[in-house]
Amino acid sequence: MGRLLEIEDLQVHYDGPRGPVRAVDRLSLCIEQGETYALVGESGCGKTATGLAILRLVEPGWIAGGKILFQGRDLMGLTEREMRRVRGGGVGLVFQEAAAALNPVMRVGAQIVEGLRIHRGMGRREAWSEAVRLLRLVSMNDPERNVRAYAHELSGGMKQRVMLAIALSGSPALLIADEPTTALDVTIQAQILALLRRLKAELGLTVLLITHDLGVVAENADRVGVMYAGRLVEEAPVAGLFEDPKHPYTRGLLRAMPTTGRDGAAGAPGRRVRLQTLPGSVPDPSAPPPGCRFHPRCPEVFWPCALSEPRDLVVGPGRRALCFLHDPSVAAAPASPQARGDRP
């Protein structure tokens, strides 16, 4: 085990319709070799921008600051040419829109072969047989035949397998999977997630899993980072996050998570179980609230929250939270007892 990826004080900005937007603000995290690190949060929280920043693909935005060390090398210092080698080799990417990412007029095999010839210098014949091997690796049925298929002939699940084969073609150390199963049916989602777990074990992959679905996180991640309005507000090992969430936003997300309730959550027959919610909605990214960005929606808000930004605090082994509730320098100060709230 060692650190495969270290992100320090990352800033991703872009021009919004109402002024510059800090899509990612002072984000720091480390991903260990061989683990699955999940980034969760609502749309617009900056999780996708973080993933793309690792590949330096944030245009039309830009990386306004910070360091990204991948295998010890600062990616911010690489030339565009060297960066292309990282994208085709060390870091693979799959995202939600497999259908949109594949070229409709090229056989899927040719799209796998393209990368193999450019990045691994393979000859035609060798690359085609490698493409078949990669399709077999991602459990594509009948890979010899489907290597010659066009995207429209394949189902959503099979297209996502092709995307995975392309992402794996450069033998990456890190796979960034951005909502890889969001567009898929639930039985296919289970297949793709099982495939990711198998690939991780077989190939020793490290995975950055970006998703809004805490159910997927629970079952697939080793560690979790929770993002809100551009900031990483909590980080924890997966069991700790679900058992004892430290940030009120994480608590709200977990409460609002629907389950199938076979473990007793379902009420008596005929009685529906009301979902708990988080009031309000995410702030306008071009005008985030002062202080803690979550404070206008926070059920546990108290006096310092609107005044200044909370510090990134260590709140347990391997755990961080960006919240005044855990800040000893303010916790001693008078706070109304009700505002502190009870832990669920």
Partner 1 sequence: MSTKDEPLVEAKGLTRSFAPRGGWFGPKGSDVRAVDHVDLVVRRGETLGLVGESGSGKSTTGRMLIRLIEPDAGSIRFDGVDLLALADRPLRAMRRQFQMIFQDPYGSLNPRMRVSTIVGEPLVIHRIGANRAERKERVAELLEQVGLSPADANKYPHEFSGGQRQRIGIARAIACLPRFIVADEPVSALDPPVQAQIVNLMADLQERMGLAYLFIAHDLRIVQHISDRVAVMYLGRIVEEAPAAELYRDPLHPYTRALLASTPSGRPGSPTAPALSGEPPSATHPPSGCRFHPRCPVAEPVCSRQDPRLLPVGGRRRVACHLVHPPGSGDRPERSS
Q: Which is nearer to partner 1, 81 or 272 (CB)?
A: 272
- Does 267 engage in binding with partner 1 (CB under 8 A)? yes
Query: Which one, of 294, 229, 244, 233, lies nearest residue 29 by Cα?
Result: 233
Q: Which is nearer to partner 1, 60 or 270 (CB)?
A: 270
For the chain, give percent helix, strand, coil, nearest 5. 35, 25, 40
- Does 99 engage in binding with partner 1 (CB under 8 A)? no
- Does 153 engage in binding with partner 1 (CB under 8 A)? no
- Does 219 engage in binding with partner 1 (CB under 8 A)? yes
Residue found by looking up tokens 């683990």 in the block: 35
Distance CA 82, CA 99 (A): 29
- Does 42 engage in binding with partner 1 (CB under 8 A)? yes
Number of chain positions touching partner 1 (CB under 8 A): 56
- Does 259 engage in binding with partner 1 (CB under 8 A)? yes
Distance CA 314, CA 46 (A): 22
**Apex CA 198: angle with CA 194 and CA 204, to 5°?**
140
Which burial class, exposed, middle or buried, applies to 197 when counting CB atoms under 10 A from its CB (0-12, 13-18, 19+)? middle
Outline where the chain has alpha helix (H).
Answer: 47-54, 80-85, 98-101, 108-120, 124-137, 143-146, 156-168, 186-203, 214-220, 238-243, 248-255, 328-331, 337-340
- Does 69 engage in binding with partner 1 (CB under 8 A)? no
Of 191, 289, 296, 309, which lies in the binding site for partner 1, with binding defined by CB under 8 A?
Answer: 191
- Does 81 engage in binding with partner 1 (CB under 8 A)? no
- Does 215 engage in binding with partner 1 (CB under 8 A)? yes
Span of 76-84, 143-151, 202-210, 266-274 interacting with partner 1 by CB under 8 A: 266-274
Say if strands 231-237 and 223-228 run parallel, antiparallel, or are unpaired.
antiparallel
Span of 79-87, 111-119, 165-173, 208-216 interacting with partner 1 by CB under 8 A: 208-216
CB 119, min distance to partner 1, A: 31
Span of 76-84, 111-119, 202-210, 258-266 interacting with partner 1 by CB under 8 A: 258-266
Of 74, 185, 201, 307, which lies in the binding site for partner 1, with binding defined by CB under 8 A?
Answer: 185
Query: Which one, of 150, 207, 212, lies nearest residue 181 by Cα?
Result: 212
Distance CA 47, CA 39 (A): 6
CB 165, min distance to partner 1, A: 17
Q: Which is nearer to partner 1, 281 or 336 (CB)?
A: 281
Restricted to residues 274-333, the positions that interact with partner 1 (CB under 8 A) are 274-279, 281-282
Distance CA 100, CA 192 (A): 18
Q: Which is nearer to partner 1, 160 or 169 (CB)?
A: 160
Binding interface with partner 1 (CB under 8 A):
42-43, 141, 155-158, 185-191, 193-194, 197, 212-216, 218-220, 238-239, 241-243, 252-253, 256-263, 266-279, 281-282
